[in-house]
Structure 1
Amino acid sequence: MSTTRTFALDDLRRILLEGAGAEEGVDLDGDILDTYFDELGYESLALLETGGRIEREYGITLDDSALTDAVTPRQLIAVVNEHITAAAEVAA
C-alpha cells in the first residue's frame, strides 16, 4: 500500500517563510487560504522561488502557469496536490 504525501497549508507557510520571509505586518498564521499572494507580500519572484522549493522537496515539476494562475494559497495547494497525485500514479 502506497501513501501519497500531500501538500498542506502548513507546508506552504514553511516554504514561503524559508524562501522569502514574511512581509512586515502580514500574519501567515491567520486564515490566509483565500488571500491573494500579492496581499500577503509575495510577488512573482518570491512565488517562483517558492515553486522551486516545492518542486525539489516534493519531486514534482510545476509549469509556469501553475504558479501564475494560482493567486491564493488554496489554489496553489490544489495545483501542487494534483501534481503530486499525478506523479504518484505515473510511478505506480
Structure 2
Amino acid sequence: MSADRFTLADLKRILLEGAGADEEVDLDGDILDQGFEALGYESLALLETGGRIEREYDITLDDSVLSGATTPKALIEAVNAQLAVST
C-alpha cells in the first residue's frame, strides 16, 4: 500500500499489529507528544514498526529517523517527509 499521507490512525494500527499494546496505555487518548517509552514501546518495537511502515508505504527510513523520533508526532512527520520525497 502506498499513500500520500501517514496519519496517527495509521501509526496506531501498525503499532498494535506489530507490538500490541500495554494494557495500561490508552492509545485512543492524546498521545501525539508522549514518548514512545511512556506508551510502552521500546526500541525493538519501534524497529518492527519502522519495518512495517517501510514495507507498507514502500519507503526507506534512515536508522536515525527511528532513533530520533521519540514521539508519535515526530515519527509521523518523518514518515510524511519521506513520502513527499518518494512521490
Counterpart of 1:75, as a letter, is A
Residue in structure 1 matched with residue 13 of structure 2 by the alignment: 14
Which whole-Å CA distance do the structure 2 matches of 1:56 and 1:65 have between them? Answer: 18
Counterpart of 1:77, as a letter, is I
- Larger Rg over CA atoms: 1
Within a 5 Å distance, the mapping from 1:1-92 to structure 2 comes to: 5-88=4-87
Shift of 1:45: 0.2
Which whole-Å CA distance do the structure 1 matches of 2:85 and 2:7 have between them? Answer: 17
Shift of 1:86: 0.3
Gaps of 5+ in 1: none
Shift of 1:24: 1.8
- Structure 1 runs (4+) deviating above 2 angstroms are none
C-alpha RMSD of matched pairs (Å): 0.7
Shift of 1:6: 0.2
Which whole-Å CA distance do the structure 2 matches of 1:63 and 1:23 have between them? Answer: 27
Gaps of 5+ in 2: none
Higher RCO structure (Cα 8 Å, ≥6 apart)? 2
Shift of 1:59: 0.4
Which whole-Å CA distance do the structure 1 matches of 2:22 and 2:64 have between them? Answer: 24
Which whole-Å CA distance do the structure 2 matches of 1:10 and 1:30 have between them? Answer: 12
Q: How many residue pairs end up in the alignment?
A: 85
Which whole-Å CA distance do the structure 1 matches of 2:63 and 2:37 have between them? Answer: 17
Percent identity reads 67
